[in-house]
Amino acid sequence: MALDLSGKKYAQVSYEEKERLFNEVKADLRYEEYLYGCYECGICVAACPSARFYDFSPRKIAQAVAREDIDLVYTLMNDSIWDCSQCFSCDRCPRKNSPGGIITIMREVAVKNGLASAQAALEGYGRVVYKIMSTGTQVSPDMLQPSAFPDWGPHVKEISNNLDVWRRALPPETLHTTETGWQVDDKTLIELYLIWHMTGVMDMIKEVDEGLFMILQDVMEERLEEAGYDVSFE
Amino acid sequence: MPEQPILIIGGGPAGMEAARAIADLGYHAILVEKRNRLGGTPDEAGYAALTPDFRNAGEAMAEMAARIENNPFVNLKLNSTVTAASGSVGNFEVTIQNGQASEKINAGAVIIATGFQHFDPGRETQQYGYYEFDDVITLVDLEKMLRAHNVVRPSNGKPPERLCFIQCVGSRDRQIGNEYCSKVCCGIASKEAIEVRQQLPNCKVFIFYIDMRMYGYWENQIYWPAQEKYKVNYVKGIVTEVLKKGDRLLIRGEDTTMGRPMEIPMDIVVLSVGMEPSAGTCELAKIFGVQQNKYKFIETLGGALDTVTTSVEGVFACGAATGPADLEDSVSSAAAAAMKAIAAVRKHRPLE
Ligand SMILES: Cc1cc2nc3c(=O)[nH]c(=O)nc-3n(C[C@H](O)[C@H](O)[C@H](O)COP(=O)(O)OP(=O)(O)OC[C@H]3O[C@@H](n4cnc5c(N)ncnc54)[C@H](O)[C@@H]3O)c2cc1C
Ligand code: SF4
Ligand code: SF4
Ligand code: SF4
């Protein structure tokens, strides 16, 4: 769908709310290093893989932010930043901007504030997040849900129906990590839970996915209690 | 017999520097200036601060003038102009008119430094409404307001909340005939934008442009701070027209980056007018019979390697009389003209 930058799309959201979010972006410590001015040279766009596939432009991000156009930044924060693949090819900017870095900050603000777009964008990752955060270890091939990744193409859905059969047809073992990858030392796991608690990661999850938060909360609180910590995520 | 003096016409930055260079080398200069004081267009138009270092313009011009006023090697003729010339290198006979009086002088060589005039935005680009709307002004008008620390809407005397610059007004335009880039207006608009933000921190400032053209170091002396420190909004896309809406102005154009049309209300619209040859430059070109280029600036014949030699031997030109130039260029070319004029006089010493 074409990106609507007319400024009318989010007219129902108050200017003050948009401004509050933008100020949160600007208050990030990295902001000063990620944005200077913009030449309109388009070097970032030409380097950007996402720009090839979506109606997406790192230059528009840099411009909107540099111009401090609050309505525009809000629109981009909702409708554009999730198209970035965070590869940082745009870091070759002659003004030393990092559009990808600015997007990182914008995404964090979007997640922290539970913007609907952030919820939608992260929906497909629920299982991944659950697995990683509850077990403290990596993603395995059985965890990705094709329905959440439209950019994988239409045939992926078809293939995924008989994935077990396909996998068995392959000479190398592809699913061993689903069994072996989850052995995490108790102490490490407890420390990870504490870090996620103390750094506000759990708060962020609560903002974007209440259901996921509740499941994780159950798992974590119980383990922490066993380990002798009296931690509440509320 | 000593060499004949060198005649300089025009007491702007270029003419003042040429006179100083000639005097410093021990030659005599006659400087003819039609106004009653030195300082050229920066003085006449009342510029506030100069690019790139925000130096006070009045002070800078006064400093240049002080070097040649009361200088025994410089014969200053204010309120004067040149009305006729004959002769050739080594011995030009020139008529200088001062009010009703006229005198004839002899000069070994001539330097034309009669400068430029600002493009008149009412002449061709009526779509910007310069003579129609009080709040449409030029770079020069804004310089005066900045100098007085009184940036207000002419229509109601209130400080503007939104002010914009439109670049390339009267420059780079085939319709108008000024196909050239006036070189300085991008830097000057950016400089003025910074000053507006300094004087009125709550005023939003926009610059609508085709491309920003910054001379060498002006890039990070002016453009970067304007964008990064003073948050001037640079929007790629030239305004098509200025309309009146209520008691404000409405500008219409395209925001090329965002790929959308724009209609933005403004309190003041500043037209970044470029340079055209001054009337004096055109007159002097006729009087001395030197070639002018397509745009009526004085043609110099040496291309990139000689920026001051004209089609008439012994007649040189420098500064903005030869085309758009900033102070740095004007002063540099003035020194080159002084050197070449002295060389010409020495080569063509009248017989003893
Ligand atoms: C809005 C604006 C702002 C600018 N600000 C800056 C700046 O900040 N920094 C910068 O580097 N440059 C600036 N410039 C450019 C700068 O003004 C020129 O580089 C400079 O004035 C050129 O000097 P000049 O001596 O060649 O011509 P001028 O300054 O035009 O001087 C010409 C002189 O010749 C005299 N004269 C003309 N005709 C006759 C005649 N027939 N007989 C006798 N005398 C005559 C005039 O009275 C005048 O004194 C600016 C230009 C514009 C348009
Ligand atoms: S980090 Fe994002 S914006 Fe930058 S090049 Fe990669 S995909 Fe494009
Ligand atoms: S590379 Fe940098 S300066 Fe060029 S368009 Fe992208 S952000 Fe702007
Ligand atoms: S200096 Fe800038 S505003 Fe002036 S003519 Fe050139 S490009 Fe246009």
**How many A-B residue pairs are in contact by the CB < 8 A criterion?**
30
For residues B127 and A215, which has the higher predicted lDDT (pLDDT)? A215
> Which residue of chain B has the CA closest to A72?
B258
* Residue A23, C-beta contacts closer than 8 angstroms, at least 6 positions apart: none
The closest ligand to the CA of B181 turns out to be 4
| Regions of chain B with pLDDT less than 70 | 1-2, 350-352
A32 touches chain B (CB under 8 A): no
Query: For A136-151, what is the mean pLDDT?
Result: 67
**pLDDT digits 0-9 by tens, A62-77:** 999 999 999 999 999 9
d(CA B65, CA B19): 10
Q: Is the ipTM of this complex over 0.90?
A: no
Element (H, E) at B87: strand B80-88
Is there a contact between B258 and A64 if contact means CB atoms under 8 Å apart? yes
Residues of chain B in contact with residue A38, where contact means CB-CB under 8 angstroms, are 227, 234
| Cβ-defined contact of A59 to B257 (cutoff 8 Å) | yes
Spatial separation of the C-alpha atoms in residues A177 and A167, rounded to whole Å: 14
Q: 3-state DSSP call for residue B110?
A: strand
d(CA A100, CA A121): 17
Do A78 and A115 form a contact (C-beta atoms < 8 A)? yes
Q: Mean per-residue pLDDT for A72-93?
A: 96
Q: Which of residues 206-265 of B touch A (CB under 8 A)?
A: 223-224, 227-228, 231, 233-236, 257-260
Q: Which atom of ligand 3 is nearest to the CA of A92?
A: 1
CA-based torsion, A143, A147, A149, A153: positive or negative = positive
pLDDT band at A2 (very low <50, low <70, confident <90, very high): confident
| Cα–Cα dist A126/A213, whole Å | 10
**pTM of the full predicted structure?**
0.88
- Closest Cα of chain B to A14: distance in Å? 20
Nearest alpha carbon to residue B58 among B46, B41, B40: B46
Closest CA to A61 of A107, A121, A11, A117: A107
Q: A47 is written with which tokens?
A: 């380097």
Establish if A59 touches chain B: CB-CB under 8 angstroms: yes
Q: Is residue B327 in contact with ligand 1, taking CB distance under 6 Å?
A: yes
Residue B41 backbone dihedrals phi, psi, to 5 degrees: -60, -40
Of B14, B5, B6, nearest in space to B320 by CA: B14
pLDDT of residue B308: 98
pLDDT digits (tens, 9 = 90+) for B1-29: 467 999 999 999 999 999 999 999 999 99
Residue A40 forms contact with B (CB below 8 Å): yes
> What is residue A162's predicted lDDT score, i.e. its pLDDT?
80
Give the pLDDT of residue B124: 74
CA dist., res. A128 & res. A142, Å (int): 10
Residue A51 reports pLDDT greater than 70: yes
> Nearest CA to CA, how far is B158 from chain A (Å)?
25
**What is the identity of the amino acid at B22?**
I
Tokens of B21: 């260079």
Tell me the best of A44, A91, A96, A98 to mutate to test the pocket of ligand 3, counting ligand atoms within 8 Å of each CB and taking the most: A44
List the Cα angle B100/B105/B107 in 5-degree steps: 140
CA atoms within 13 A on the CB side of A65: 32
Point out the ligand 4 atom lying closest to the alpha carbon of residue B182: 5
Residue of B203, B213, B257, B262 to mutate, interface with A, max A Cβ within 10 Å: B257
**Residue A51 has which token pair?**
């720009």
Q: Is residue A53 lining ligand 2, measured as CB closer than 6 Å?
A: no
- Whole-angstrom distance, CA of residue A147 vs CA of residue A127: 12
In the reported structure, the alpha carbon of residue A47 is separated from the centroid of ligand 3 by a whole-number distance in angstroms of 11
Cα(B138) to centroid(ligand 4), Å? 14
To test the pocket of ligand 3, the residue of A35, A59, A61 to mutate (highest count of ligand atoms within 8 Å of its CB) is A59
Contact B234 A37 (CB under 8 A): yes
Look at residue A145 and tell me whether its pLDDT is greater than 70.
Answer: no
Test B257 with A60 for CB contact under 8 angstroms.
yes
User: What average pLDDT score do residues A145-165 get?
Assistant: 73
Q: Are B212 and B223 in contact (CB under 8 A)?
A: yes
| Position A146 confidence tier, pLDDT thresholds 50, 70, 90 | low
Distance from CA of B258 to the nearest CA of A (A): 7
Distances in whole angstroms, Cα of residue B302 to Cα of each of B113, B268, B306:
17, 43, 4
Residue B245: is it exposed, middle or buried by C-beta count within 10 angstroms (0-12/13-18/19+)?
exposed
